[in-house]
Amino acid sequence: MDRCSFSHVETWVFDLDNTLYPPHMRLFDQIEQRMTTWVMRALGVDQARANHLRGHYWQLYGTTLAGLMREHAIDPVGYLADVHDIDFSVLEADPQLARRIAALPGRRIVYTNGDAPYAQKVLAARGLAGLFDAVYGVEHAGYLPKPEAAAFETVFALDGLTPARAAMFEDDPRNLAVPHAMGLRTIHIAPQPEPAPHIHHHAADLSGFLALLTES
């Protein structure tokens, strides 16, 4: 990775789940379980059907919530509050990651398909509270999720960032296609690479990648 390829970046955009904490902490497993329970209760279906719908809507619409809103007109506020009522103690603070994020020049923001209150709880548990200039959730995009272009356009316009002078870190490769098209530098954070034309860089470890950018 050539550090010079980031010399133009003035805004650093971070996804939240499985990006600002590693997948092995398995926080999202709790959310998936609560999603399944919520779907069972709200739609009156059994667990197998609820699991199918959860995955099907995620694949088709970008999030389970988006599918539930489009096909069942559910209230997103109550849903998000319920599925994010989880145990954050599985997350560990990461002082080294915090130092490396703080060392990035320019603005730093979080943009998640969860909601902002949930994001703030994750940041606090990871020891990352206060490091970001803004935290945007799906509510800031009118509940449109990544990877929809309109979601990115809404949040980036709200933030006022210049796409050609920004970079985005994200664990879901499909959520980097629109940012790439808009001119952002794209970094896929995941245990295994998924090469694609819209991904500029891959890293298994976010903190290690940031070290390459911030440490001599």
Domain that holds residue 58: 27-83
What is the domain-level CATH number for residue 185? 3.40.50.1000
Asked if residue 146 is part of any domain, the answer here is yes
What is the domain-level CATH number for residue 58? 1.10.150.450
Asked if residue 127 is part of any domain, the answer here is yes
CA end-to-end span of the chain:
14
Per the DSSP assignment, residues forming a β-bridge with 193 are none
Nearest to 149 by CA among 194, 189, 181, 197: 181
Domain identity same for 122 and 171? yes
pTM: 0.94
- pLDDT value for 216: 75
Taking only the tens place, the pLDDT of each residue in 148-172 is 999 999 999 999 999 999 999 999 9
- pLDDT value for 188: 98
Domain identity same for 75 and 118? no
Residue 83 to residue 128: CA distance in whole angstroms: 22
Domain identity same for 8 and 46? no
- pLDDT value for 27: 95
Domain identity same for 112 and 168? yes
Asked if residue 88 is part of any domain, the answer here is no
Asked if residue 208 is part of any domain, the answer here is yes
- pLDDT value for 1: 64
Number of domains in the chain: 2
Domain identity same for 64 and 122? no
Q: Which stretches in the chain have pLDDT values below 70?
A: 1
Domain identity same for 62 and 114? no
Q: In what order do the strands lie in the sheet with 201-203?
A: 134-136, 107-111, 11-14, 166-170, 185-189, 201-203
- pLDDT value for 62: 87
Report helix, strand or coil for 161. Answer: coil
Taking only the tens place, the pLDDT of each residue in 88-112 is 999 999 999 999 999 999 999 999 9
Helix (H), strand (E) counts: the chain: 9, 6
Domain identity same for 36 and 15? no
- pLDDT value for 168: 98
Residue 104 to residue 107: CA distance in whole angstroms: 8
